[in-house]
Amino acid sequence: MRGITPRREQGVADPVLAEMVHEMGLKEAPHYAAVKPTIQAYRRRWVELAPYREGTVNPKRVEVSDPVEITRQIKAKAAELGADLVGVCRLKPHMIDLGEDVPHEFVIACCVAEDYEKVMQGADAVEEEAMRTYVRCTEISNELAAQIRAMGYPARAHHNGGSEVQAIPIFYEVGFGELGRHGSLINEEYGASFRPGFVTTVLLLVEDRPREFGVQDFCMNCNVCQLNCPGDAIPQDYVVTHGIKRWLIDLEKCYPYSRLRNEYCHLCVDVCPYNVKSHSDTYRAFMKQRKQVGYKTPKAI
């Protein structure tokens, strides 16, 4: 199946970032050039695991007569490996990167929640937590794909070590949440503080369904992420893609605060009111800090 959704390149392979880096007279974006040893180690880990995304498929296929039961077993295995949410849907062209061809019919989505409490320890702690979570997702999806191949069905893991699929449309389709104004998917329990890993396969599985709980309507009236963005990169206006509202982040305004300086910027996600459910005290304390430095906070804070 051929993909139709463009993916932005990372680092100076992204023409927008490349132009900005060039104008500053640099060779690399500061965000990528200067990273802590722990973060470098996490990045090395997912690169090390990249060759194991695919592998030999057992020629002796285990016949699956009950897709409900095998789906239950796979979800249980993913949870055992450390996934906080697991869902399944049929793969569609808009879930695949433009220019890529993925020869599978189903996708298993896993997510690992980040520790939101890290926001109180500053930007570096938030990034380190994100990288730790990405590694966990890499390990889970690689292991899950290997187990499906051992049953005799082709399967490929998609994660930070290599991916041809798009997180947000898959997460929406499996019912993990809805797309928020800040450009990340919002889950009822975890807010937007989680990271993805995927497995695509030909194994027949039972699909989950999208689950909406009012995020897009809420975001229409809540401008907290927009008003807390130091670069004013989050727009007031939205576009519609495949029937879903999208507020497209202006990278020219975002990058000076996220890629063109050493310190990580995760503020749009950190200030989202959907964090209040899972981390009420931490969220309120963090937003009090924001209020003290002049940023908008929800009325209840």
Euclidean distance between CA atoms 223 and 228, whole angstroms: 8
Q: What is the smallest separation between the CB atom of 241 and another protein, expressed in angstroms?
A: 5
- According to CB under 8 A, which residues from 276 to 295 bind another protein? none
Is 25 a binding residue for another protein by CB under 8 A? The answer is no
Neighbours of 296 (CB within 10 A): 16
Q: CB-wise, 33 or 248, nearer to another protein?
A: 248
Q: What is the smallest separation between the CB atom of 6 and another protein, expressed in angstroms?
A: 5
Contact string (CB under 8 A) for another protein, positions 162-191, x = contact: ------------------------------
Tokens describing residue 160: 């930070």
177 within 8 A of 188, measured Cβ to Cβ: yes
From residue 216, how far is each of 117, 170, 180, 191, 281 by CA, in Å? 25, 17, 6, 13, 25
Is 232 a binding residue for another protein by CB under 8 A? The answer is no
Q: CB-wise, 6 or 122, nearer to another protein?
A: 6
Is 2 a binding residue for another protein by CB under 8 A? The answer is yes
**Residue 61: CA atoms inside 13 Å, Cβ hemisphere, count?**
8
From residue 106, how far is each of 83, 156, 177, 224 by CA, in Å? 18, 11, 19, 36
| Percent of residues in the chain assigned helix, strand, coil, to nearest 5 | 45, 15, 40
For the chain, what is the total number of helices (H) and then of strands (E)? Answer: 12, 8
Piece in contact with another protein (CB under 8 A), picked from 11-19, 118-126, 139-147, 288-296: 11-19
Q: What is the smallest separation between the CB atom of 257 and another protein, expressed in angstroms?
A: 16
Is 251 a binding residue for another protein by CB under 8 A? The answer is yes
Is 99 a binding residue for another protein by CB under 8 A? The answer is yes
Euclidean distance between CA atoms 164 and 54, whole angstroms: 13
Neighbours of 72 (CB within 10 A): 12
Q: In terms of DSSP H, where are the helices of the chain?
A: 15-23, 30-33, 37-49, 67-81, 123-150, 167-173, 215-221, 224-228, 251-258, 267-270, 275-278, 280-292
Contacting residue, 211, 246, 261, 296, with another protein by CB under 8 A: 246
Q: CB-wise, 33 or 220, nearer to another protein?
A: 220
Q: CB-wise, 136 or 245, nearer to another protein?
A: 245
Number of residues lying near another protein (CB under 8 A): 23
Contact string (CB under 8 A) for another protein, positions 188-227, x = contact: -----------------------------x----------
Contacting residue, 51, 98, 189, 213, with another protein by CB under 8 A: 98
Is 93 a binding residue for another protein by CB under 8 A? The answer is yes
Binding site for another protein (CB under 8 A): 2, 4-6, 15-16, 19, 93, 98-99, 217, 237, 239-243, 245-246, 248, 250-252
